[in-house]
């Protein structure tokens, strides 16, 4: 079975990748399987830069194919924030609850018709010695006035996808994986994978 490393320690994100890649004869591993790898500081100013940095660093260290993503929430009323700082919006230590509460606080006076937002995911696939492959995915929606739901992770409890009345945090995993930004990007990657192989 061919190995593919997911350059993440986020269990929720890893589970989504595994679920979306289960049909392939691929052994999906993550950074949780490698204790001695260094933490990679996300110093890029764009999702593309951060995804490429993670994919190339891990790919060259482990000498095998790696897929990395950088993803986040972009809110129109906040001029695109939290953006690339989504994971650490409320401070350097990742804390979903604090991030959600900060967004809700900043949005408390925004009218319900002006709460449009989107999740974006940029995937970077890297095989050592080859050009990097990028795929982008989006999920349009709006920000709620309070947290709803315990499923998922990150900003899922405050984001209602377009065409739905439930937040991402209220959707079942298979429902989220059908419409999410990561699923969109991975769907494009899977089409590429069918043509080119791992």
Catalytic residues: 70
| Beta strand residue intervals within the chain, DSSP E | 2-6, 26-30, 66-75, 116-126, 133-143, 159-161
Say how far apart CA 150 and CA 31 lie, in whole Å: 25
For residue 154, the SS3 value is coil
The residue behind tokens 């993503």 is: 69
Say how far apart CA 59 and CA 47 lie, in whole Å: 18
């Amino acid at each position: 079975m061919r190995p593919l490393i997911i350059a993440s320690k986020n269990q929720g994100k890893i589970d989504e990748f595994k679920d979306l890649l289960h049909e392939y004869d691929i052994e999906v591993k993550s950074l949780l399987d490698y204790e001695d790898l260094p933490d990679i500081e996300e110093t890029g100013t764009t999702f593309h830069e951060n995804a490429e940095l993670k994919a190339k660093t891990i790919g060259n260290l482990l000498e095998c194919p790696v897929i990395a993503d950088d993803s986040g929430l972009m809110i129109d009323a906040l001029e695109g924030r939290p953006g690339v700082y989504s994971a650490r919006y409320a401070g350097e230590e990742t804390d979903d609850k604090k991030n959600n509460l900060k967004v809700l606080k900043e949005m408390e006076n925004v009218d319900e018709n002006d709460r449009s937002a989107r999740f974006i995911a940029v995937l970077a696939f890297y095989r050592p010695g080859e050009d990097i492959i990028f795929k982008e995915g989006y999920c349009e929606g709006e920000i709620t006035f309070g947290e709803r739901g315990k499923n998922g992770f990150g900003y899922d409890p405050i984001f209602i996808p377009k065409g739905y009345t439930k937040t991402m945090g209220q959707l079942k995993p298979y429902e989220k994986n059908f419409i999410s930004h990561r699923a969109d990007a991975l769907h494009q990657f899977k089409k590429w994978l069918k043509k080119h192989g791992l």
